[in-house]
Amino acid sequence: MNTLIAVAIAPFGEGDELSKEVAEVIKVIRDSGLPNQTTSMFTEIEGPWDEVMEVVKEATFVLANKGIRTEVILKADIRPGFSDTMNKKIESIDRILGDQTKE
């Protein structure tokens, strides 16, 4: 079943600059082979539920296995019969906004 998630995985209580740790998490996600995109606050991952959740688990334990307290924020959109929703949702909004600028 296709699942699109937005996830933020970060060390908790580890100081002010966390880019190195966050980069380690993002590397696991990017290396997964699942469609993904990272923004300043979340990374979206799309694919079958079990595969997406396995990637979230692996990415989380990159930090947790080092003894780092880890915070995970996750939002999921499960939409049977759909695929490539990470891109199609944006295309739909862009199409609507493009139509409005022509009026």
Pairwise CA distance, residues 70 & 103, whole Å: 48
What are the boundaries of each domain within the chain? 2-101
pLDDT digits (tens, 9 = 90+) for 79-89: 999 899 999 98
Pairwise CA distance, residues 20 & 41, whole Å: 15
Give the pTM: 0.85
Whether the predicted pLDDT of 103 surpasses 60: no
pLDDT digits (tens, 9 = 90+) for 11-66: 987 666 788 999 999 999 999 999 999 999 999 999 999 999 999 999 999 999 99
Q: Which of these, 16, 31, 24, lies nearest to 60 by C-alpha position? A: 24
Fold of 2-101: Alpha-Beta Plaits (3.30.70)
